[in-house]
């Protein structure tokens, strides 16, 4: 009947069918021989089929099972060890798996015409065998405590020398008249000197906070107040020198702010033991950058946001430090309501920032002045609220206290009604 003619067997595949009914290997591997095998050895089962179509379909199903359960020998062109035999699932008897099938011996066949042997496909004739070997990791010698101590001492000695030079140079230039101009080479030399000091501090922090460092070695950073010295002599004093020489020093000040900011960000990532200090320093650098930006309002807003982010992060970690709320109040300008909030908080926490009294008085003087331009930026309700606090805090114009309170209370309901839910949101 040619049942298997629809199965496209390649010339290089030689199926060895095994009858799923009796587990007998059918030789030769031909569909007609298999049909004769079924008609001879399984005639009774064949006669139970009602029609010729049922018989043909049944034999075809058995033939497919015989091919699947038999052993197929082929040439694997991906392996160089020649032909291999792949064993399919064992024959089924009545739908069950039979495990007692005899394994047929492996037989190799030649590859089809035009197909090169496996070994020639794997390695071209003009290419040598791949002899790549794994390379061992270079040996690393762990540093000893003695070596670490020696390294820290050497770094600190160099740091002290550079720090002393920075203090000397900054002090001398601070005494000079700010109108005295420095040329480009002098500014570059000063920037390079302070950059060297920052690098020395960075090396000292990494060495003293090494994972193998002893507790005594780790305490050196706090013992010698290294974070504070880095900020005071390596960054702040030079920034003040640059600030007093503006606008001539603007380009060099921008360059140094970016340098110091990147260094502080690096220490924030690599030396987490002093994270609180790095966060506040990043906020201070962002505030310096914001303060010198007069041309691009967008850049000014960006750096204001950056500085506010770091100060807010610092205040979350140290909620009792009034100094941080004072910094946030400075950044809130010109929003007088927010400034009042932060200045008040900086004076009311457990560790108040007493300098905030002068800052808040400056705010009240601007608001309470008759010809103040800042009054126009506040709505009537907010203006009356700030004025009332200014009168109570400063003791000035006590006769206007009652009228300011009445003005605030009378306009509060209308303001809440107009702003609806946004009244609860931060200003």
What is the pLDDT, as a whole number, of residue 333? 86
Quote the pLDDT of residue 376.
57
Radius of gyration of the chain (CA): 44
**What does the CA dihedral 157, 162, 166, 172 come to, rounded to 10 degrees?**
90
Give the count of alpha carbons within 13 A of 231, CB side only.
15
CA distance 161 to 110: 83
Task: Spell out the alpha helix ranges (H) of 176-233.
Answer: 184-208, 215-218, 220-223, 226-229
Residue 191 has pLDDT above 90, yes or no: yes
Q: Are 4 and 68 in contact (CB under 8 A)?
A: no
- Counting Cβ atoms within 10 Å, is residue 297 exposed (0-12), middle (13-18) or buried (19+)? exposed
Q: Which one-letter DSSP state was computed for residue 351?
A: B
Give the pLDDT of residue 85: 39
pLDDT value of position 375: 58
- What is the three-class DSSP state of 261? helix
Q: What is the pLDDT of residue 345?
A: 93
Q: What average pLDDT does the chain have?
A: 78
What pLDDT, on a 0 to 100 scale, did the predictor assign at position 75? 38
**pLDDT mean over 85-92:** 40
Q: Whose CA is closest to 377, among 392, 391, 367?
A: 367
Q: In which band, very low, low, confident or very high, does the pLDDT at 12 lie, cut at 50, 70 and 90? A: very low
CA distance 317 to 279: 10
pLDDT-derived band at 346 (thresholds 50, 70, 90) equals very high
Given this model, what pLDDT does residue 400 score? 80
The total of other beta-carbon atoms located within 10 Å of residue 233's CB is 20
pLDDT tens per residue across span 307-344: 999 999 999 999 999 999 999 999 998 888 889 999 99
Is this model's pTM higher than 0.75 or not?
no
For the stretch 352-409, pLDDT in tens is 999 999 999 988 888 887 766 655 567 778 888 888 888 888 888 888 888 878 888 8
Long-range contacts of 384-388 (CB under 8 A, 24+ apart): 384/408, 384/411, 385/337, 386/336, 386/337, 386/340
Q: Confirm if 49 and 58 have CB atoms less than 8 A apart.
A: yes
- Residue 25 and residue 418: Cα distance in Å, rounded? 93
* Residue 5 pLDDT level (bands cut at 50, 70, 90): very low
pLDDT digits (tens, 9 = 90+) for 110-146: 555 554 554 444 444 454 555 677 877 777 778 888 8
**Mean pLDDT to the nearest integer, 170-188:** 85
Distance of alpha carbon 375 from alpha carbon 50, whole angstroms: 105
**Strand locations in 17-143 (E):** 71-74, 84-87, 92-93, 96-97
């Amino acid at each position: 009947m040619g049942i298997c003619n629809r199965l496209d067997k390649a010339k290089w595949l030689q199926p060895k069918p095994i009858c799923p009914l009796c587990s007998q290997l059918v030789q030769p591997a031909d569909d007609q021989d298999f049909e004769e095998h079924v008609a001879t050895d399984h005639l009774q089962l064949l006669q139970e089929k009602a029609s010729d179509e049922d018989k043909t379909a049944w034999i075809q199903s058995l033939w497919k099972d015989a091919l699947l359960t038999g052993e197929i020998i082929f040439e694997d062109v991906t392996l160089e060890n020649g032909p291999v035999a792949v064993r399919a699932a064992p024959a089924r008897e009545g739908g069950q798996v039979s495990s007692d099938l005899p394994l047929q011996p492996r037989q190799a066949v030649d590859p089809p015409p035009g197909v090169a042997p496996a070994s020639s496909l794997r390695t071209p004739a003009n290419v040598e065998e791949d002899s790549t070997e794994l390379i061992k990791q270079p040996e690393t010698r762990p540093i000893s405590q003695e070596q670490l101590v020696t390294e820290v001492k050497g770094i600190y000695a160099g740091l002290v020398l550079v720090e002393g030079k920075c203090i000397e140079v900054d002090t001398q230039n601070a005494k000079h008249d700010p109108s005295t101009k420095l040329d480009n080479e002098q500014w570059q030399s000063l920037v390079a000197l302070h950059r060297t000091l920052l690098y020395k501090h960075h090396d000292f922090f990494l060495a003293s906070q090494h994972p193998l460092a002893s507790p005594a070695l780790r305490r050196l950073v706090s013992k010698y107040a290294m974070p504070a010295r880095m900020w005071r002599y390596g960054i702040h004093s030079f920034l003040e020198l640059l600030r007093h020489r503006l606008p001539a020093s603007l380009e060099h000040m921008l360059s140094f702010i970016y340098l110091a900011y990147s260094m502080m960000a690096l220490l924030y990532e690599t030396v987490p033991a002093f994270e609180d200090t790095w966060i506040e320093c990043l906020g201070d650098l962002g505030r310096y950058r914001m303060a010198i930006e007069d041309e691009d309002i967008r850049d000014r807003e960006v750096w204001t946001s950056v500085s506010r982010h770091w100060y807010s992060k610092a205040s979350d970690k140290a909620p009792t430090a009034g100094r941080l709320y004072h910094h946030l109040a400075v950044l809130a300008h010109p929003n007088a309501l927010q400034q009042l909030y932060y200045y008040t908080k900086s004076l009311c926490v457990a560790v108040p920032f007493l300098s905030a009294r002068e800052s808040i008085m400056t705010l009240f003087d601007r608001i309470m002045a008759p010809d103040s331009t800042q009054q126009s930026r506040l709505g009537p309700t907010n203006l009356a609220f700030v004025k009332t606090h200014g009168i109570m805090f400063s003791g000035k114009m006590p006769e206007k206290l009652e009228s300011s309170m009445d003005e605030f209370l009378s306009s509060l309901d209308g303001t809440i009604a107009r702003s609806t839910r946004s009244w609860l949101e931060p200003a």
